[in-house]
Amino acid sequence: MIVAAAVLFSLIFLICLWLIFTEKLDRSLTSIAGAALMVGVGIILNLYTESDALAAIDFNTLGLLLGMMILVALLEPTGVFQFLAVWAGRLSRGRPILLLVLLGTVTTVLSMFLNNVTTVVLIAPVTILISEILGINPLPYLVAEALLSNVGGVATLIGDPPNILIASAANLTFDQFLTHSLPIVVAVWLVALLLIRFLFRHELSIKPPNTGVLMQLNPAEALEDRKTAWRALVVLAVTILFFFIYHFFHISPAYVALSGAVIALVWIRPKFDEVLKRVEWSVLIFFAALFIMVGGLEAAGVLDALVRLMEHAAVIPPVLFGVLLIWVVAGLSAIVDNVPITIALIPVIQGLGAAGMDVGPLWWALAFGAGFGGNGTIIGSTANIIVATLSEKTRTPITPKLWNKRGLPVMLATCAVASILYAIAYPLF
């Protein structure tokens, strides 16, 4: 009976993952349908109740995501992202490699604190503008922005959804990410940038005929709403500051982010409906539904079985176990969305911890694998999908074939570098 339930629940989860992978159904719709089905079956089998399902949702993650989404929704229409990209373009004086480094840096730094999708959605159009008026191919810059935003997101607690999930589950703090993850990300980022420079060496060797044309782009004019931009940035800065110190006040990161959002809303007083429209509700639904599904897997004993299976693997040295986890998670994240992978693996790692294993280092392995793995395929991360979709509407579309040649090597190299540094720094984790 229990085995049958475990098989049934696993089947529902795997079918959902398959539907997300094949894009046969919208990922949020898939996950909410899967969640509803699992709760229904759970009630019939007297295994998983509605209140269990509600308790499985990590509201700390949802609150943190919602708060940051509102702050970004306030910043988005002000043109501040456009301002930064135009500024980077001017600073490059039209030199392709410098332009790559500058646009890459802006994208990385923004995606360390804001979500990658917003960053890429707002930086990519200006990238296309700069490339077109220079008369050069925008592809290297667009691919680099997706890749580097994924790398940058690994650096901080709020950089990427998997980090928020892991931090919430393992009680990791904002500073711990800066001391454990940031140094590795800096090294990995440099390797990624050098590799991108090498992979696109032909495109980047073409000198733009007229670089002076960049100088007529006025960043100040690109900034459309100075007052709102200023206020939103001040609140964002204070919010980030509070991420460093929230644990002294015994409050959660979610409370920090939501308070920041509320303060910004009250200060700026925008049209509230329009701000809410820009919040990615489908992402929040996706997360909540995945929590419910993984809660179901836990109730049906699927995750326990996985834990017992992995305990057998624990005979190998812990360092190797961690490195293996990086690669397994990276491989899975390249194929399916890294969010369901992370949500499913968190209870497994917690189970290993309960069984007496030192899981501290494993959390970081999970974060690195989920973060860097997404670069492997054109559908590996939302940033990749966004850039590819955007480029389809241009004369130089990014194809899956191009991604396999230019994105996959970067994923493999970044995972390799991360693994080496992880192994070296293992005693510190």
Partner 1 sequence: MKISDCMKRNVVSIPATLTIAEAAGIFVNRKVGILPVIDEDSKPIGIVSLRDLLELELPDFVNFIADLDFVHDFGAVETTRPTLKELAQPVTSIMQPITTIPEDCGLLRAYAMMLQHNLLDLPVVSKTGKLVGIASRVDVGTAILSTWPSKEAKKQ
Cα 276-278-280 angle, rounded to 5 deg: 95
With b meaning 16 or more CB within 10 Å and e meaning fewer, what string describes 241-255?
Answer: ebbeebeeeeebbbb
Pairwise CA distance, residues 287 & 284, whole Å: 5
Asked if 377 is part of the footprint of partner 1 (rule: CB under 8 A), the reply reads no
Asked if 139 is part of the footprint of partner 1 (rule: CB under 8 A), the reply reads no
In the complex, what is the shortest distance from the CB of residue 228 to partner 1, in angstroms, rounded to a whole number?
A: 15
Whole-angstrom Cα Rg for the chain: 22
Give the helix/strand (H/E) hosting 208. none
* Single residue of 218, 389, 399, 404 touching partner 1 by CB under 8 A: 218
Using the contact rule CB under 8 A, the part of the chain among 110-118, 155-163, 213-221, 239-247 near partner 1 is 213-221
Q: Tell me the per-residue interface mask from 82 to 121 with partner 1, x by CB under 8 A, - otherwise.
A: x---x-----------------------------------
Using the contact rule CB under 8 A, the part of the chain among 31-39, 127-135, 272-280, 381-389 near partner 1 is 127-135
Pairwise CA distance, residues 293 & 349, whole Å: 17
Burial class (CB in 10 A: 0-12, 13-18, 19+), 278: middle
Nearest to 326 by CA among 362, 380, 379: 362
Pairwise CA distance, residues 192 & 120, whole Å: 17
Cα 156-259-242 angle, rounded to 5 deg: 40
In the complex, what is the shortest distance from the CB of residue 77 to partner 1, in angstroms, rounded to a whole number?
A: 9
In the complex, what is the shortest distance from the CB of residue 113 to partner 1, in angstroms, rounded to a whole number?
A: 24
Asked if 135 is part of the footprint of partner 1 (rule: CB under 8 A), the reply reads yes
In the complex, what is the shortest distance from the CB of residue 128 to partner 1, in angstroms, rounded to a whole number?
A: 5
In the complex, what is the shortest distance from the CB of residue 396 to partner 1, in angstroms, rounded to a whole number?
A: 8
In the complex, what is the shortest distance from the CB of residue 276 to partner 1, in angstroms, rounded to a whole number?
A: 20
Span 56-85, contacts to partner 1 by CB under 8 A: 79, 82
Q: First CA to last CA across the chain, in angstroms?
A: 41
Question: What does DSSP assign to residue 398?
Answer: P
Q: Would you give the distance in Å from CA 60 to the centre of its chain?
A: 17
Query: By CB under 8 A, how many residues form the interface with partner 1?
Result: 28
Using the contact rule CB under 8 A, the part of the chain among 45-53, 132-140, 238-246, 352-360 near partner 1 is 132-140
The residue ranges that bind partner 1 (CB under 8 A) are 79, 82, 86, 124-126, 128-129, 132-135, 208-210, 213-214, 216-219, 221-222, 224, 390, 393-395
